[in-house]
Chain A
Amino acid sequence: MPPPDNTAEIRITAEPIDNQRCKFVLSVPVLSGGVRRFAGADEAKGSPLAAAIFAIPGLAVSELIVSGNIVTIVKKSPAPWQAVGQAVGIAIRSALTADVPAVTPARKPAAGEGSAVDDDALYEQVAKVFDEQVNPMVARHGGHVELIDVQDAVVMLRMGGGCQGCGMADVTLRQGIEGMLAQLVPAVRGIVDITDHTSGANPYFQASKK
């Protein structure tokens, strides 16, 4: 008898951030207790989900971030997310059927192992900016921004309160936080928002009507 098809019960919701970045929110966790960032297919060894996504023909994935039940993909392909969403869904579901974990946790660098950027130091600097500047400001609209991790100088953050699901969340991120970090922590190479905006119950501004 074939094994039961559990993937049919996995719900995946795509939340495009822009044409390059999209979050896929799964109904099941993929990686508990941490964040894993993949900067290329060579880093996906041992993580079937990442390997399957990097292997999608024509998608030209440049970055993949997995945290909890959220898979964030950054691609180079100009194809709209609507056109490639199903292929991503198939890749994710196929990886979740494997007998091995879909994503292995990030490996801590061994003592003496060099790194081009000191993510721990960046984390401290970004956390300070968030604590002392960003959060007191967004709190005026009932929002908050949580620093999840810094990997390879890329900041992963999650928005909450009035920012979660807010119609202006991307403006806050791109016109506000990104600029602040560029000025205050110039070593930061990028920002990825891993917020599940569809679950925002109290957004400060509503999404557009049409």
Chain B
Amino acid sequence: MEAARQIGVELTVASEQRSTLEAENPAGLLTLDFKNPERAADHVHAFARTYPIHGVVGVDDDTAIVAAWIAERLKLKGNSTHAAEAARDKHRQRLALADAGVPIPRFELHLVAEDPTAIAASTRYPCVLKPLRLSASRGVVRADNAQSFMKGHDRLKAILAEPDAAACGEPALHFLVEDFIPGYEVALEGLVVNRRLHVLALFDKPDPLDGPFFEETIYVTPSTVPTGLQTAIAQCAERAVRALEITEGPIHAELRYNERGPFLIELAARPIGGRCSAVLRFGDKGISLEEIIVRHALGMPIPSLQRERVAAGVMMIPIPGAGTLREVRGVAEAKQVPLVEDVQITAHPGERLIPFPEGSRYPGFIFARGETPATVETALRDAHSRLTFVIA
């Protein structure tokens, strides 16, 4: 909303649940059935006869698909529905990437209802159990042997039976078993313009993501990965973009590399989460990632795709434990750590905190900016050490 406001673009905000004020601003508020993107696109097509739409942007995994359907229906800039859906479904994504020879973990698709003992007996370890549709690493579990596979399977099965996960339909009946790829993980933020990937930022993830669960913590950019390897990582992501037939818009990719080179772990046809994106600024004026995305969707000139010179980082604050959040202490102290620019606590008092793999909602975010990635990382850790979460 802020990006649109900055560049003077009138906005229609679509949501799954009806805004209570929709009747008062029928041009600016719209309710769509995100679970049925085709119907949502028809709805927007009719809406656009009264209130013309010139661009569409999805903000998360689900709305990236809805945006693709709308773009296709209204002939706006965007990805094909085929590409958006292939990026959204982890199995379809892996099939497309494997066909194109993009390096990815070896994978197998299984039914949740299958006998897990048989799968555990035939699987290569270490492996990763992964749902097809959930986001933010929810339900992703590493298993090092048959025993931990069985435990992980039980947890994943329970997660997929939860109402919000089961609402995914058919994908919630399956899961992937993949090879665990050892190595260093990075995240690539990019913008695809007319099939060409522009790397906006490469983030290091200095905390090892070796499982058993895959909660994110720190993202720092620019990456300290050697330049040649960065090029190989970008080429791997670009091959994935081509394989998935993504033609326009933002992408967020997770990759790992080791002595065998880079592997693509995930690629989503959407930007990094809205909170984390605050860490990125571009050009002399420090424009936001969202402004770049809105400008691109509308075919407006983009002043710069060059990230600012200084290092920047964000910490997704680890979920401190299970329970009801009563209070967060030390926020002011954390904000006073040199280089820390902001500490945002997004969990509200009384909110139930659920650790990974069942949960996936971080209780807050810490932002820092400085001369080098190392000083930024240190500042983030220092600020985090000053926070105390009081949980009942």
A83 contacts the other chain (CB 8 A): yes
Are the C-beta atoms of B11 and A175 separated by less than 8 Å? yes
Chain A residues with CB under 8 Å of B19's CB are 168, 171-172, 175-176
* Tally of contacts, chain A with chain B, CB under 8 A: 129
Are the C-beta atoms of A180 and B1 separated by less than 8 Å? no
Interface centre among A11, A12, A82, A210 (most CB of B within 10 A): A210
Chain B residues with CB under 8 Å of A172's CB are 19-21
Interface centre among A12, A78, A138, A180 (most CB of B within 10 A): A78
Are the C-beta atoms of B29 and A175 separated by less than 8 Å? yes
A80 CA to B285 CA in the complex, in Å?
10
Are the C-beta atoms of B21 and A199 separated by less than 8 Å? no
Q: Which of A102-157 contact B (CB under 8 A)?
A: 133-134, 137-141, 143
Are the C-beta atoms of A179 and B273 separated by less than 8 Å? no
Give min CB distance, B365 to chain A, whole Å: 8
The answer to whether A85 and B335 touch (CB under 8 A), given A80-B278, A209-B135, A210-B136, is yes
Chain A residues with CB under 8 Å of B72's CB are none
Are the C-beta atoms of A141 and B20 separated by less than 8 Å? yes
The answer to whether A171 and B24 touch (CB under 8 A), given A201-B350, A207-B346, A210-B362, is no
Are the C-beta atoms of A175 and B25 separated by less than 8 Å? yes
Are the C-beta atoms of B273 and A209 separated by less than 8 Å? yes
Chain B residues with CB under 8 Å of A10's CB are 332
Interface centre among B275, B285, B348, B362 (most CB of A within 10 A): B348
A19 CA to B1 CA in the complex, in Å?
11
A11 CA to B349 CA in the complex, in Å?
17
The answer to whether A209 and B331 touch (CB under 8 A), given A174-B1, A175-B29, is no
Chain A residues with CB under 8 Å of B20's CB are 137-141, 143, 172, 176
A176 CA to B13 CA in the complex, in Å?
11
Are the C-beta atoms of A179 and B28 separated by less than 8 Å? yes
Are the C-beta atoms of B21 and A137 separated by less than 8 Å? yes
Give B264-297 as 1s and 0s: 1 = Cβ < 8 Å from A's Cβ atoms. 0000000011111010010001111000000000
Are the C-beta atoms of B286 and A79 separated by less than 8 Å? yes
A6 contacts the other chain (CB 8 A): no
Contact-residue bracket for chain B: 35 or more
Which residue of chain B lies nearest to A143 when distances are taken between CB atoms in the complex? Answer: B20
Chain B residues with CB under 8 Å of A16's CB are 342
> Could you say which of A79, A141, A198 contacts B348, with CB atoms under 8 Å apart?
A198
A94 contacts the other chain (CB 8 A): no
Are the C-beta atoms of A19 and B349 separated by less than 8 Å? no
B360 contacts the other chain (CB 8 A): yes
B369 contacts the other chain (CB 8 A): yes
Are the C-beta atoms of A83 and B331 separated by less than 8 Å? no
Give min CB distance, A200 to chain B, whole Å: 5
Give B314-339 as 1s and 0s: 1 = Cβ < 8 Å from A's Cβ atoms. 00100000000000000110011000
Are the C-beta atoms of A208 and B335 separated by less than 8 Å? no
The answer to whether A168 and B15 touch (CB under 8 A), given A82-B367, A209-B136, A210-B273, is yes
> Could you say which of A83, A140, A202 contacts B350, with CB atoms under 8 Å apart?
A202
B110 contacts the other chain (CB 8 A): no
B227 contacts the other chain (CB 8 A): no
B361 contacts the other chain (CB 8 A): yes
B167 contacts the other chain (CB 8 A): no
Give min CB distance, A195 to chain B, whole Å: 13
Give min CB distance, B14 to chain A, whole Å: 10
A182 CA to B345 CA in the complex, in Å?
33
Give min CB distance, A85 to chain B, whole Å: 6
B2 contacts the other chain (CB 8 A): yes
Give min CB distance, A198 to chain B, whole Å: 6
Are the C-beta atoms of B21 and A176 separated by less than 8 Å? yes
Are the C-beta atoms of B6 and A19 separated by less than 8 Å? yes
With A14-B342, A202-B348, A209-B360 given, name 19 new contacts (CB 8 A): A13-B335, A13-B343, A18-B2, A19-B6, A19-B288, A78-B287, A81-B342, A82-B367, A85-B342, A143-B20, A175-B11, A175-B19, A175-B29, A176-B29, A198-B345, A201-B348, A208-B346, A209-B273, A210-B276
Instruction: Rank and list the top 9 A-B pairs by shortest CB-CB distance, nearest first.
Output: A210-B273, A82-B341, A176-B21, A11-B332, A18-B2, A82-B342, A137-B20, A207-B346, A175-B28
The interface of chain B, by Cβ under 8 A from chain A, is: 1-2, 5-6, 11, 13, 15, 17, 19-21, 24-25, 28-29, 60, 135-136, 216, 272-276, 278, 281, 285-288, 316, 331-332, 335-336, 341-346, 348-351, 360-362, 367, 369
26 A-B pairs in the complex with CB atoms less than 8 angstroms apart:
A11-B331, A13-B331, A13-B343, A18-B5, A79-B286, A83-B369, A89-B335, A138-B20, A140-B20, A143-B20, A170-B1, A172-B20, A174-B1, A198-B348, A201-B349, A201-B350, A202-B348, A202-B350, A203-B348, A208-B346, A209-B135, A209-B136, A209-B361, A210-B216, A210-B273, A210-B316
The interface of chain A, by Cβ under 8 A from chain B, is: 10-16, 18-19, 27, 78-83, 85-86, 89, 133-134, 137-141, 143, 165, 168, 170-172, 174-177, 179-180, 198-203, 205-210
